Amino acid sequence: MKVLLADDDRPLTQLLSLKLRAKGVEVSVAHDSMQAFMSALRNQPDVIVLDVQMPGGTGLEALKKLKASSKTSGIPVVVLSGSVEPKAAATIKELGASEFLVKPVDPDVLHQVLCSVLSAT
């Protein structure tokens, strides 16, 4: 499984990358919205984990671009956010995200969700 992990929280991306790699997952990391979109176009990951609040444009803007591009529209996206607002989750799903997880996320739960999302496609 190839995962693009897009989050500006470097300690979090290091922790999640380490835990996912230990489970045999190939992880690439982006630290802002534009970098996430360009990396997805270039590397064609199996799934994208996308933070909502990032520099270089929000994660929601990146999600819209990913779903609008013919090269990335079929890639499932799991969105991470510190917000627990019910309206936020609904909006994110309407924009095309496969799943919505609240931070802090347990690496094992994230791995289970990634496997679930991939088996559903």
Please, which pLDDT band fits residue 117 given cuts at 50, 70 and 90?
A: very high
CATH number at residue 103: 3.40.50.2300
Domain count, the chain: 1
Q: What is the pLDDT of residues 4-17, one digit of tens each?
A: 999 999 999 999 99
Could you tell me which residues are beta bridge partners of residue 4? Answer: 28, 48
Full-model pTM: 0.94
Which among 103, 89, 98, 97 is positioned nearest to 119, based on CA atoms?
98
Percent of the chain with pLDDT over 90: 78
Give me 75's structure tokens: 């890639």
Give me the domain span that covers residue 106: 2-120
